[in-house]
Amino acid sequence: MGKTRKWKWGLFFALCLLITAAVLNNPVTKSPIDGAPEPAGTPAPQGPLAGCAVCLDPGHGGYDGGAYGRDSGTPEKELNLDVALRLAGLLRERGAAVTLTRETDTALADAGENRKRRDLQARVDAAASADLFLSIHMNEYRTRSQSGPQVFYRKGQEGSRLLAGVLQQSLNAALSPARPRSAQTGDYYVLRQLAIPAVLVECGFLSNAAEEQKMLDPDYRQRLAQAIADGVEEYWALAPEHKQ
């Protein structure tokens, strides 16, 4: 090999090295999983809830109407779904990844033995990869004087207690109920089965005449959804050690 040829080979190898280095450094070819290029056109979610996966559970559905408006006869299941869909929209706008246990008027198990238990377990299963779980309900009581939103969590779950407290405060501040309630522990199947922060939000009492009228107003349901979304955002902004 003459001098000129050696020089040419040297230049060739140097160029190869440069190209290899450039290819390895190109972020488009880097992927944490398999080296495949990142898909174009799917920007990462942005907003205060980016990275937060929320499972929303509109209570009841299908054969199971839940509570009924004492005056209007409106089933709880309809109002729960409406509030949850409004809330899903607000949370997505803020960057959250939202799944719903149902998006139509259906039970998650509507036939056979133990259908109620299987329905509830399906709601728990839907939250498998979520960071937070919120079950949306409307309350009722035998006397008509009881009113106001109330958030429940499972005793002993610190993340759930914190989430419930923040949500309760947000609901009280936004809706100014006549007698503001405090978040309370409650023994509900869906809360017992979940290890992630999980709460059950009773938006108000369908057995109370004034509150039933409020629930029938879409603007009030939007305010409810807004208050819950604000609470979720506030909770998510807290220190990571609270996100059990």
For the chain, where are the alpha helices, taking DSSP H only?
Answer: 3-25, 76-93, 115-126, 158-175, 189-192, 209-215, 218-236
Could you say whether residue 161 binds Zn ion (CB under 5 A)? Answer: no
Produce one character per residue of 92-130: b if its CB has 16 or more CB atoms within 10 Å, e if not: bebbbbbbbbbeeebbbbeeeeebeeebbbebbebbeeb
Least distance (Å) between residue 203 CB and Zn ion: 10
Region from 66-74, 83-91, 95-103, 231-239 binding Zn ion, contact rule CB under 5 A:
66-74
Is residue 148 part of the contact set for Zn ion (CB under 5 A)? Answer: no
Residue with tokens 């409106």: 74
Q: Does 59 bind Zn ion (CB under 5 A)?
A: yes
Which C-beta is closer to Zn ion: that of 52 or that of 198?
198
Q: Is 66 a residue that touches Zn ion (CB under 5 A)? A: yes
Task: Quote the tokens at residue 238.
Answer: 């807290």
Per-residue contact flags (x/-) with Zn ion for residues 89 to 128, judged by CB under 5 A: ----------------------------------------
First and final C-alpha spacing in the chain: 68
204 binds Zn ion (CB under 5 A): no
- The least distance separating Zn ion from the CB of residue 78, rounded to whole angstroms, comes to 12
Binding residues for Zn ion, rule: CB under 5 A, are 59, 66, 137
